[in-house]
């Protein structure tokens, strides 16, 4: 049987329908029904031949990890696969579509998979656990998040893929596993299953995104749980609370001098803006041409020296600042680079 290289127009048109259906579930902030969640989890334990566990509900991943570390003080990367039932759950509910039903080429399967991803992988529980919340826990244990939780967002991603393949492409999938997977995604939030107990984390109270569906908020949490535990994020980059709780308009350029993380420095630069950085960090003036100035900021701010072309509008006095390559030697050369190698005499001052 030859492989199918593309979807029909009708099948293609259904992709956003299924993606939005499961995205709504993945990003729901409704409180979970604890009775229904307990019922689903007991049935799942039975399906993988395990005894019913003690089911413990919590209001944030932080609260859940406190319970896990208290119950399992010796939990490490080395023994997590023995103590956790995540692999048992995954073997049962994440069983892939059978190879016999692989009707489409690898390329089209990859395209379908990407288009049906409802939440990006960066939306991960490991981001919710900050090292300073567990000062007595060995550092390498703090980032067990992905290994400890069956994540609501990842469950919804899987549900979206299976739903489309089964409902639209008529692939075979175990009805019982499909019902289990849907129920876990719809009713259970995040799950951390162990032999004798199962932690269930409720959904966040608030989720905030930018226009590209990346976690983002300015001066407030991007993710906020009902017990107050929060995650701060700027266009998808997780921020420490000391930055996240302050609006970017109030960020200080001097923070760049002490921030060691390159990605956080990049975010601070983006949020503060080059114009304000120039003023607050007293950029060195290298060259002038008309209303344009080439500036340099010491290389302790970023990985390499920051060279900026400052442009002052003659009518309003408003300052624009654009970063240019550090090998540029004059304001005229910087103007030409900004304008795709057009010589500055060939255009007027941009306002």
DSSP states of 117-155 as a string?
Answer: --S-TTS-GGGG--GGG-TTS-HHHHT-HHHH-B-HHHH
Its domain, for residue 325, covers 274-346
Q: Does one domain contain both 46 and 167? A: yes
Structure confidence by residue, pLDDT tens digits, 118-177: 876 555 545 444 445 555 555 444 455 567 788 888 889 889 999 998 899 888 888 899
Choosing from 179, 203, 227, the residue where a domain stops is 203
- Tell me the backbone φ, ψ of residue 220, rounded to 5 degrees: -150, 165
Nearest to 288 by CA among 318, 325, 330: 330
pLDDT of residue 145: 58
Note whether residue 1 is domain-resident.
no
Q: Does one domain contain both 179 and 82? A: yes
> C-alpha 51: how far from its chain's center?
35
Note whether residue 294 is domain-resident.
yes
Q: Span 7-11, mean pLDDT?
A: 92
C-alpha–C-alpha distance, residues 254 and 57, integer Å: 43
pLDDT of residue 350: 46
C-alpha–C-alpha distance, residues 118 and 35, integer Å: 27
Structure confidence by residue, pLDDT tens digits, 306-317: 888 888 777 777
Q: Span 330-349, mean pLDDT?
A: 74
DSSP code, position 79: T
Q: Which helix (H) or strand (E) holds 47?
A: helix 34-47
Domains contained in the chain, number: 2
pLDDT of residue 6: 84
Q: Does one domain contain both 309 and 186? A: no
Q: Span 242-252, mean pLDDT?
A: 95
E-strand stretches of 90-229: 190-193, 197-201, 206-207, 223-224
Q: Does one domain contain both 183 and 57? A: yes
Note whether residue 247 is domain-resident.
no
C-alpha–C-alpha distance, residues 206 and 231, integer Å: 10
E-strand stretches of the chain: 54-58, 190-193, 197-201, 206-207, 223-224, 230-234, 237-239, 284-289, 292-297, 306-312, 319-324
Note whether residue 262 is domain-resident.
no
Q: Span 34-48, mean pLDDT?
A: 96
Structure confidence by residue, pLDDT tens digits, 71-105: 988 887 778 888 899 889 988 887 766 554 567 77
pLDDT of residue 37: 97
> C-alpha 98: how far from its chain's center?
30
pLDDT of residue 172: 82
For residue 290, pLDDT beyond 70: yes
Q: Does one domain contain both 88 and 191? A: yes
Lowest mean pLDDT among 30-34, 255-259, 284-288: 255-259
Q: Span 249-275, mean pLDDT?
A: 86
Bridge partners (DSSP) listed for residue 231: 223
- The angle that helices 86-93 and 34-47 make with each other, rounded to 10 degrees, is 80
Structure-token pair, residue 183: 């129920």
pLDDT of residue 346: 59
Choosing from 186, 203, 220, the residue where a domain stops is 203
pLDDT of residue 71: 93
Q: Does one domain contain both 278 and 185? A: no
C-alpha–C-alpha distance, residues 191 and 148, integer Å: 8
Q: Does one domain contain both 187 and 300? A: no
pLDDT of residue 249: 94
Asked if residue 119 lies in contact with residue 158, where contact means CB atoms within 8 angstroms, the answer is no
Structure confidence by residue, pLDDT tens digits, 192-212: 999 999 999 999 999 999 998
Q: Residues, the chain, total?
A: 351
Note whether residue 100 is domain-resident.
yes
pLDDT of residue 349: 47
pLDDT of residue 271: 92
Note whether residue 63 is domain-resident.
yes
216-250 in b/e form (b: 16+ CB < 10 A) is bbbeebbbbbeeebbbbbbbbbbbeeebbebebee
pLDDT of residue 226: 94
Instruction: Provide the total of helices (H) and of strands (E) in the chain, helices listed first.
Output: 14, 11
pLDDT of residue 97: 64
pLDDT of residue 275: 79
pLDDT of residue 247: 96
pTM for the full model? 0.77
State percent of the chain over pLDDT 90.
Answer: 37
Q: Does one domain contain both 167 and 279? A: no
Q: Does one domain contain both 77 and 182? A: yes
Q: Does one domain contain both 115 and 194? A: yes
Asked if residue 232 lies in contact with residue 222, where contact means CB atoms within 8 angstroms, the answer is yes
- The burial class, CB within 10 Å (0-12 / 13-18 / 19+), for 100 is exposed
Note whether residue 264 is domain-resident.
no
For residue 248, pLDDT beyond 90: yes
Question: What is the average pLDDT score of the chain?
Answer: 84
Note whether residue 106 is domain-resident.
yes
Residue pointed to by tokens 């990346």: 214
Choosing from 150, 176, 203, the residue where a domain stops is 203
**Geometric angle at alpha carbon 47, from 53 and 72, rounded to 5°:** 30
Residue pointed to by tokens 């991960």: 124
């Amino acid at each position: 049987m030859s492989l199918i290289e593309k979807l029909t127009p009708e099948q293609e048109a259904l992709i956003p329908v299924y993606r939005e259906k499961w995205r709504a579930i993945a990003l729901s902030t409704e409180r979970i029904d604890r009775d229904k969640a307990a019922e689903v989890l007991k049935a799942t334990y039975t399906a993988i031949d395990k005894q019913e566990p003690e089911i413990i509900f919590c209001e944030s991943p932080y609260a859940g990890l406190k319970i896990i570390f208290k119950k399992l003080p010796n939990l490490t990367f080395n023994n997590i696969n023995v103590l956790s039932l995540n692999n048992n759950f995954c073997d049962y509910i994440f069983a892939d579509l059978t190879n016999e039903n692989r009707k489409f080429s690898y390329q089209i399967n990859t395209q379908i998979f990407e288009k049906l991803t409802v939440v990006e992988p960066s939306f991960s529980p490991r981001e919710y656990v900050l090292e300073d919340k567990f000062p007595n826990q060995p550092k390498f244990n703090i980032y067990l998040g992905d290994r400890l939780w069956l994540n609501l967002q990842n469950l919804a991603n899987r549900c979206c893929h299976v739903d489309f393949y089964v409902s639209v492409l008529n692939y075979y999938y175990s009805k019982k596993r499909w019902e289990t997977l849907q129920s876990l995604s719809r009713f259970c939030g995040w799950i951390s299953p162990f032999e004798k107990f199962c932690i269930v984390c409720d959904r966040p109270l608030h989720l905030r995104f930018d226009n590209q569906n990346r976690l983002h908020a300015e001066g407030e949490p991007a993710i906020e749980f009902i017990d107050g535990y929060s995650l701060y994020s700027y266009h998808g980059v997780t921020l420490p609370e000391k930055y996240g709780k302050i609006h970017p308009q109030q960020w200080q350029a001097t923070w760049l001098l002490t921030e060691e993380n390159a990605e956080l420095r990049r975010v601070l630069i983006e949020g503060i803006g080059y114009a304000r950085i120039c003023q607050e960090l007293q950029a060195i003036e290298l060259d002038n041409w008309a209303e344009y100035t080439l500036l340099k900021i010491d290389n302790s701010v970023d990985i390499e020296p920051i060279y900026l072309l400052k442009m002052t509008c003659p009518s309003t006095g408003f300052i624009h600042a654009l970063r240019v390559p550090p090998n540029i030697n004059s304001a005229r050369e910087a103007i030409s680079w900004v304008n795709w190698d057009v010589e500055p005499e060939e255009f007027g001052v941009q306002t």
